[in-house]
């Protein structure tokens, strides 16, 4: 029986079968199989077939691990979302203050009376900041102007980009009257140089020099409370 199994294994190997494929047909230990097939040579075509199978197997393994990482990451994100829960007005106040500290304009000693302005390209961040202006600062769209900066290489998409922001922020296109075109070449390492590019939006609050100072006080209060 052992001789029959060995002969069968040798014949399969000569046909270009891998050890894994042979062991699926012949139930023997891998060490035994290696001993049987030690002297069995493979043609160049058979070696190429085995290499291709190994590469295909490695690719399938990588794809499986990639899917598993995505599923695992999604579970983490969903769990984290539930941990947040409803946002209170005080929490929104602090969130907006920190957003402004990171991305808002600051009053300078040499330029007193500066208006409050917030610049970013992330629609979600822009939306949260506008929510903060409405609910915390009591501002409406009538108190705001939008400046939109677009790279000159994307100038032909101006109407599309304005339409994107109009839809995201739920405001008429007429609010985007100030459009500026940035010169220079796009960084080839940037990912958002195609249809995903929407320029940079600047929110300017009219007659807001007092608000700028108030936000500066809120920021200082947060910093001092955590030191």
Residues of the chain with pLDDT below 70 are 41-45, 109-113, 185-193
pTM of the model: 0.70
Model pLDDT, residue 44: 66
pLDDT in tens, 31-44: 888 888 877 766 56
Could you write out the DSSP letters of every residue in the chain? Answer: -HHHHHHHHHHHHHTT--HHHHHHHS---HHHHHHHTTT----HHHHHHHHHHHHHHHHHHHHHHHHHHHHHHHHHHHHHHHHH-PPPHHHHHHHHHHHHHHHB---BTTBTTPPPEEEES-HHHHHHHHHHHHHTT---GGGEEEEEEEEGGGGGGHHHHHHHHHHHHT--GGG--EEEEE-SPPPTT-S-SSTT---EEEEEETT-HHHHHHHHHHHHHHHHHH-
Model pLDDT, residue 25: 84
Model pLDDT, residue 123: 95
């Amino acid at each position: 029986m052992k001789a029959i199994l060995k002969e069968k294994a040798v014949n399969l190997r000569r046909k270009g079968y891998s050890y894994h494929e042979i062991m699926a047909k012949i139930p023997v230990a891998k060490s035994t199989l290696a001993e049987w097939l030690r002297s069995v040579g493979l043609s160049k075509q058979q070696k190429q077939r085995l290499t291709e199978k190994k590469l295909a197997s490695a690719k399938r393994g990588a794809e499986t691990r990639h899917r598993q990482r995505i599923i695992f990451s999604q579970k983490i994100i969903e769990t984290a979302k539930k941990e947040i829960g409803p946002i209170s007005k005080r929490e929104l106040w602090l969130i907006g203050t920190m957003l402004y500290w990171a991305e808002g304009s600051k009053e300078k000693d040499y330029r007193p009376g500066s208006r409050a302005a917030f610049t970013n390209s992330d629609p979600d961040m822009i939306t949260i900041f506008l929510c903060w202006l409405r609910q915390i600062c009591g501002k409406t769209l009538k108190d705001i102007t939008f400046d939109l900066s677009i790279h000159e290489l994307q100038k032909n998409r101006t109407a599309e980009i304005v339409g994107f922001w109009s839809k995201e922020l739920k405001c008429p296109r007429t609010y985007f009257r100030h459009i500026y075109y940035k010169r220079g070449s796009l960084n080839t390492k940037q990912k958002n140089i195609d249809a995903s590019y929407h320029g940079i939006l600047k929110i300017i609050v009219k007659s807001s020099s007092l608000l700028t100072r108030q936000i500066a006080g809120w920021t200082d209060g947060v910093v001092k409370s955590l030191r």
